[in-house]
Amino acid sequence: MSTISIYRTEFLTFSTNGSRPRHKFQRLSLSPFMKMDSKSTEKVPKEESSIKLQTSSIPQLENPRPSNLRFDRLQPSDQELNQDSRLEFGKFVAREAVLDEELWTAAWLRAETHWEDRPGERYVDNFKRKFAEQEFNAIKRRYSGQHGQTYTCVVTVRKEERNVKRTVLKSVVGTLDFSIRHLLHGESFPGEREKHLFCSISRTNLNRYIYVSNLCVAKSARRQSIASNMLYFVIESARSEGVELVYVHVHRNNEPALELYQKIGFEMVEMASSQLLKQQMYLLCYKT
């Protein structure tokens, strides 16, 4: 992850009624097997916007089998979405993903981020496509509410502009996941399991916390405060849900990410499990 500079945004808004937003859109299903062909990618005209961002090279489907994903689908307007929980900053908006096309784009951004340091590796495009398929299906499973967790996929999209129409693929520039979880009985932080190998989940409001993962920003859209504002969105969501602690794991060698979280107010958890130390991971916590 490249270093992301943080600065005060033009304005921040966050409105919520204390409940999860209701969407007008139904998520669409995706065939489990898809054949990708970069040659079939439709050429998209140059962006008619004051934001100078490069379009991410997201592959299109050849559609050898029926698929409900529409890669020419226009980004819905704010009026169509009717979302209460959203955070506006500059020329972007952070909110929950509502369309399967948004979930697919989020999965592809994660694939590009995962493989961006290995561009010369053989068959890297095939690996990225496979990674994106698996991540898309994983996102859908997380939304099914497995393990009693409340899951949300956050995306950052470009704000509406007059007389400018964008597809979903060209609009989404950042993503992260967060889920509301419960500490195991006897745990003081997530992953403290050496002394509690056989423990049940303690489902009380005091033991709830939010866990953040899969934060990434399109390479062409970095250094525009996108990552930090998605984290602010998570923090405000935690407050509206009455959750006091937000946790995230960061690799100890990922200095840009550590700097980002610490600038926002995350602090290192003093006591870490030996398993985390073996994996060279740090556990950071934000207290709302």
Q: What is the CATH number of the domain that holds 220?
A: 3.40.630.30
pLDDT of residue 162: 83
Range of the structural domain that residue 242 is part of: 84-285
Q: What is the pLDDT of residues 95-135, one digit of tens each?
A: 999 999 999 999 999 999 988 877 677 788 889 999 999 99
Q: Which residue, chain included where needed, has tokens 């007059």? A: 162
Is 65 a residue whose pLDDT tops 80? no
Q: Rounded distance, CA 86 to CA 218, Å? A: 20
pLDDT of residue 271: 61
Q: How many CB atoms are located within 10 Å of the residue 217 CB?
A: 23
The percentage of the chain sitting over the pLDDT mark of 70, rounded to a whole number, equals 67
Report the domain count for the chain: 1
Q: Which residue, chain included where needed, has tokens 């669409």? A: 28
pLDDT band at 272 (very low <50, low <70, confident <90, very high): low
Q: Compare 269 and 48 and report the one with higher pLDDT.
A: 269
Q: Rounded distance, CA 214 to CA 184, Å? A: 23
Residue 28 within a domain: no
Report pTM.
0.72
Is 70 a residue whose pLDDT tops 60? yes
Name residues whose C-beta falls within 8 Å of residue 197's C-beta, 6 or more positions apart in sequence: none
What one-character DSSP code corresponds to residue 244?
-
pLDDT of residue 98: 93
pLDDT of residue 204: 59
Residue 252 within a domain: yes
Q: Rounded distance, CA 40 to CA 128, Å? A: 17
pLDDT band at 148 (very low <50, low <70, confident <90, very high): low
Residue 62 within a domain: no
CA–CA distance from 51 to each of 43, 136, 163, 171, 262 (Å)?
19, 28, 15, 11, 28
Q: Compare 28 and 51 and report the one with higher pLDDT.
A: 28
Is 267 a residue whose pLDDT tops 70? yes
Identify any residues that bridge with 201 across adjacent strands, giving them in sequence order: 184
Q: Rounded distance, CA 213 to CA 194, Å? A: 23
Residue 4 within a domain: no
Give Cα 39 distance to the centre of its chain.
28
pLDDT band at 189 (very low <50, low <70, confident <90, very high): confident
Catalogue the E-assigned strands of 63-207.
Answer: 86-89, 92-96, 150-158, 172-182
Q: Rounded distance, CA 127 to CA 142, Å? A: 22
Q: Rounded distance, CA 154 to CA 214, Å? A: 10
Is 47 a residue whose pLDDT tops 90? no
- Angle at which helix 255-264 crosses helix 226-241, to 10 degrees, equals 50
Instruction: Out of 211, 247, 261, 282, pick the active-site residue.
Output: 261
Residue 16 within a domain: no
Residue 40 within a domain: no
Identify whether the C-beta of residue 168 lies closer than 8 Å to the C-beta of residue 45.
no
Q: Examine the residue annotation and report whether 261 is marked as an active-site residue of this protein.
A: yes
Residue 60 within a domain: no
Q: Which residue, chain included where needed, has tokens 């939304």? A: 143
Q: Compare 8 and 101 and report the one with higher pLDDT.
A: 101
For 111, phi and psi rounded to 5 degrees?
-65, -45
Q: What is the mean pLDDT of the chain?
A: 77
Residue 79 within a domain: no
First vs last Cα of the chain: how many Å apart? Answer: 26
